[in-house]
Structure 1
Amino acid sequence: MSFLDKLKNKAQQAKGQGKEEAGRRSGDSRLEAEGRKDQAAGGTKQVGEKAKDAAQEARKTFGTGS
């Protein structure tokens, strides 16, 4: 929900892209798979953050929360 969390998630995705590319170029399938895993984890966290933001916005709109 915080900007810092979103930034960390994006950084994890970028790190995953780097690992995947490095693995692909070096022929290291394990590193490539680890990169895909990091990207997926960062993406999943981003989806969660967006859902939290949407819920917070709905509470503000309908006045049923803090």
Structure 2
Amino acid sequence: MKTSILRWLLDPLTSLLALWLWSRDRGRRPYDAVWRLARVTRHPDELLYRVHGHRPDDPGDALP
């Protein structure tokens, strides 16, 4: 199952907020990043998880 479908099923309000933010931003940011922003907006206690999708899996991959 795709992540976006799972997100819609588990938390439709956050997904609606993310869709609204994404359309307001005219798609300049990836939907995953906007969804994490919407999630933190609705649930500030999850701020530590926001950067999870923005980090490389292996820190050695970020080096030149």
So what's the TM-score if we normalise by structure 2? Answer: 0.28
Name the structure with the higher helix share.
1
User: Higher relative CO (CA 8 A, sep ≥ 6), structure 1 or 2?
Assistant: 1
